[in-house]
């Protein structure tokens, strides 16, 4: 592994670090809502049912967006796609730090789900373009730690912010920090390595056919359903774990966030 990392060029390092930390902050702007739920109910901003509806808006938009933006990412400049998605999510978080309207939260959090779906496809496409088949799995595995980075920042740092400064600053802090990271992603993420134009033209011609072929691959559907089952439990804990520990077990927000972070990042 050390030899693998030492062999990276400056551009390879830029791509790897941009996608890893960039996608980590996608999680920061996705999970901020999870840390504010108890404060929102205690301050009579929303009922528990309303919080559930708001959270569902993100997941439905995220599911559809993951499919659409996955197709787009194969054709788009991933530097723009990934930085745009993170910047838009950061703006949404920041704006929600100034709102107490159910409709505003439901609409903007749903839009956040769409922009969130730009992160993973951009990252995966970047890794596939910049790293060969010989070591792509290794770098994909290391990139996968990005969600652990984002969860740790959320459940530890955002929890402290919300505890001391209120739920509004949970959204504002997530938004401001992600804005900075989106600028770094835009600056350092490279679109693709230099390749021969003939090879690029040939790839573009066959891309649409290959994308359609994916839908006919039964193995893809099996993996998709398996992933969906994992997501049910994962996001059940991500979304409601802190709320449950605070309201049913009496833990403070910081304690609950630390426990959930430990559970998710064992």
Per residue in 83-110, pLDDT (tens digit) is 999 999 999 999 999 999 999 999 999 9
Q: What was the pLDDT predicted at 176?
A: 98
Check residue 131 and report its DSSP letter: S
Q: What was the pLDDT predicted at 205?
A: 57
Query: What structural domains does the chain harbor?
Result: 10-194 (1.20.1250.20)
Which range is least confidently modeled, 93-97, 187-191, 261-265?
261-265
Q: What are phi and psi of 135, to 5 degrees?
A: -125, 10
Q: Where are the beta strands (DSSP E) in the chain?
A: none
The Cα–Cα gap between 258 and 186 comes to 31
Q: What was the pLDDT predicted at 224?
A: 87
113-160 pLDDT, tens digit per residue, is 999 999 999 999 999 989 887 788 888 888 999 999 999 999 999 999
Extract the tokens encoding 197: 């134009």
> Which string of DSSP letters, residue by residue, matches 30-92?
HHHHHHHHHHHHHTTSS-HHHHHHHHHHHHHHHHHHHHHHHHHHTTS-HHHHHHHHHHHHHHH
Q: How confident is the model at residue 197 (pLDDT cuts 50, 70, 90)?
A: very low
The Cα–Cα gap between 182 and 203 comes to 29
- On whether the CB atoms of residues 238 and 265 are closer than 8 A, the answer is no
- On whether the CB atoms of residues 65 and 189 are closer than 8 A, the answer is no
């Amino acid at each position: 592994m050390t030899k693998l990392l030492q062999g990276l060029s400056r551009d390879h390092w830029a791509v790897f670090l941009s996608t890893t930390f960039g996608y980590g902050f996608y999680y920061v702007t996705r999970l901020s809502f999870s840390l504010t739920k108890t404060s929102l109910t205690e301050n009579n901003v929303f009922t528990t049912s309303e919080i559930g509806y708001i959270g569902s808006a993100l997941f439905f938009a995220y599911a559809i967006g993951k499919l659409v933006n996955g197709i787009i990412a194969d054709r788009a400049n991933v530097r723009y796609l990934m930085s745009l998605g993170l910047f838009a999510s950061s703006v949404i978080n920041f704006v929600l730090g100034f709102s107490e309207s159910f409709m505003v939260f439901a609409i903007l959090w749903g839009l956040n789900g769409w922009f969130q779906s730009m992160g993973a496809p951009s990252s995966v496409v970047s890794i596939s373009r910049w790293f060969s088949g010989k070591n792509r799995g290794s770098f994909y595995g290391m990139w996968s730690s990005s969600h652990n980075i984002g969860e740790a920042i959320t459940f530890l740092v955002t929890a402290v912010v919300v505890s001391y400064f209120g739920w509004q600053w949970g959204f504002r802090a997530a938004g401001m920090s992600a804005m900075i990271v989106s600028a770094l992603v835009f600056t350092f993420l490279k679109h693709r390595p230099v390749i021969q134009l003939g090879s690029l033209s040939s790839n573009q011609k066959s891309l649409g056919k290959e994308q359609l072929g994916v839908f006919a691959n039964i193995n893809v559907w099996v993996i998709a359903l398996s992933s969906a089952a994992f997501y049910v439990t994962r996001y059940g804990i991500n979304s409601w774990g802190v709320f449950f520990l605070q309201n049913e077990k009496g833990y403070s927000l910081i304690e609950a966030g630390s426990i959930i972070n430990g559970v998710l990042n064992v």
